Every structure is written in C-alpha cells, then in structure tokens.
Structure 1
C-alpha cells in the first residue's frame, strides 16, 4: 500500500492547492489560538471549499469545547484530530458527530505508547507525535521521537506518524516504523506557520516514491 500523507497547518490557497496537486490524502487545519497556524473557521471553510471531496480534512484542536467543534464541523472538516488531554470518555461523547476521531499520543519513552490502548473503541486513529517540553505547543515544533520505539509495538488502532518529518527523512521514517500515514507540518515550512509550496511538493514526491 502506498504511503499516505497529511499536510497539516495549511492556511492559504496556494499551499492547499500544492498539497492537493501533490497527492496528499489529508489536509490539516489548526484551530488553536496559541499556534502560529491558527485559523478562523471562516478561513478554513474557504480553503475546504477548494478541496476535492476525496481528500480528508482534519481539524487539529487542543481540548476543544462543543461550540468550537460545532463550528469546525460546519466548515466542512471530516476528522477531529485532538492534541490535548481529551479523555476516552470525551472521545466517546464526540462519536455522535459521525466524523473520524484521531487522538494524538505524545511520545518520549516506550511506556508512552501504551496510552494508545486507552482509546481503543473510541478513536479511529492514533497520531504518535513527539512529546514537547512543558509550556510549549503540543505539536508542530519540528521535534521527533526515537522511531525505533515503534518497532515491534502492537498497535491497538490504525495510526499515523508525526513529529520532525521532512522530505529528507520521510523514507527513513516509513522504513523504520512501518508507518502507512505520515503527518507533516513544520517540515514543509519556511518559517513557523508559513507553508512553502516547494517543500510541500518535495515532501509529497519523496513519499510517493515509497
């Protein structure tokens, strides 16, 4: 199966178009005021409108309330990607919206991976991301964890690999971990929150060769 890709933190038409043209399976839109990639739901809706129906659209959020979730769903997202302290019970509540639910699991040690099992039956996908320092953003900082931690791990759910990916290392990442979906953000930027068309294209081309 071909490696699937998600380009996260998109915020303008040019980079959305580059992700679509390059064959991304998923686009990610961030709704978190502390992030340099934060969008309004109106901005996201405009970008989603130019995206083909077969491409997934994920809303990346941190402990969102019901009002924000209602707004992002109205904008047209097809998955909620949760990067906060959302409990399995919270995800169980959100299943009523009938969209995919992705739960990020911050990883630094082998024991961190075990958290994924708590979301069996309520999440559709786990996103393994690098654990960031306390007081910083929960993701999108270009950090990677030790990919060998995933070798031999029995995954309780479908999963994606995130954290520190770019065009130069995506092949190593996929070979090392067995990932079939990779999620990139800062690795295709020229500055925090500023996506780069050429870097998006290069990343997608590198992934397509695998």
Structure 2
C-alpha cells in the first residue's frame, strides 16, 4: 500500500509544482491567520489551478467559525477541510468537500474517538511547530484507524517514524522549510523520495 503524502503550508507556485511533480497525494493550504503559512482563498484558488485531479487539496483551518469556513469555500473549492474534530459539530460542508478531522496527542485522548472507517489526522498538541508525537501512542492509534500522521516529521526522521507507527499517511510542513513559512523545494523532494523508498522496501497489504 502506498503511503499517502501530504505537503502542507504551501504558498508559492514553485513549491506546489515541485510537490506535485515529486509525487505528493495531498496539498494543504493554510488559512489560520496566526500561521506564517497563511494565504488567502484567492491565492489558494490560483495555486491550485495547476494541480491535477488525482492530487487532492486541503483547506487547513484552526477552530474556524461557520462564517470563516464559508468565506474560504466561496473562493476556493478544496477536496478536504481540515480542522480539529470537535469543530465539525457546528460545520456543514458542501457536497464534494470531505472532513479531515484532527485529533491531538493529548493525555486525555482516547483512540476510540476516531472513526475507523474515516481517514483522520493525528498530530501533537500544537500545529505547525515541529512537535513530534509519541510514536508508541501514534502506533496504537494507527492500529485502530487510518490516520495521516503529522507533527515533527522531516526528511531525516520520516523513514524511522513510518517503521515505528505504520500510518496510512504522513503530513509535513515545517520539516521541509528553510525558515518558518518558506518552503525548501529540495527538502520537499527529499521527503517524498524517502517515503517512496520506504514504500518500495516495506510493502504493506
């Protein structure tokens, strides 16, 4: 089984093109205003024009209001909306936009909260700060449900984390940057190539 690769926080055409050409499965555009990776829905719409249909786009938000979500969706039509799982209690998504629910590695987290029939994202307490989750805990979660693992991944550690956790996918943002908010296309390429090399060496059912 091929590991899903999500490259998140892209903000210019070069990084989008390199991610797509290198084999990313999902591209994440950030709309959380506190993030150095935040762009406008108009920018995301423009950047996504070159993304082929088999590569899915994700609108990444943080505790948005229903109005904020609608403002994004009016200008940009992503395949997924990503925010904390509890936020979806008050959000209604249009047809064609699927939820990517975020669950965090907190002491009170129970893996049974995750729907085993739904792709979800599991990460550390805070987003976009390079905070690696506990791999033993993440492995328990990955055994229970299909997850994209995020937080603290980079080209140097992704192969060992994949070996330890065996998630359905991996998500990287700060781990492929030269400085906060600025993607390094060489690191993007390296990250994707390392994951694909892992897939070739460790085939899964």
TM-score w.r.t. the length of structure 2 is 0.87
Where has structure 1 moved over 6 Å in runs of 4 or more? none
Q: Work out the number of aligned pairs and report it.
A: 197
- 2:191 is aligned with 1:203: yes
Aligned equivalent of 1:23 = 23
Contact 1:100 1:124 in 2 (8 A): no
Contact 1:108 1:146 in 2 (8 A): no
Aligned equivalent of 1:187 = 175
Aligned equivalent of 1:134 = none
TM-score w.r.t. the length of structure 1 is 0.85
Structure 1 residue 108 displacement after superposition: 4.1
Using a 3 Å threshold, how does the CA distance of structure 1 residues 85 and 153 change in structure 2: closer, same or farther? closer
Aligned equivalent of 1:36 = 36
Aligned equivalent of 1:117 = 112
Structure 1 residue 16 displacement after superposition: 0.2
CA distance in 1, matches of 2:86, 2:171: 20
- Which deviates further from its counterpart, 33-42 or 70-79? 70-79
- 2:156 is aligned with 1:161: no
Gaps of 5+ in 2: 199-205
Aligned equivalent of 1:8 = 8
- 2:159 is aligned with 1:171: yes
Aligned equivalent of 2:102 = 104
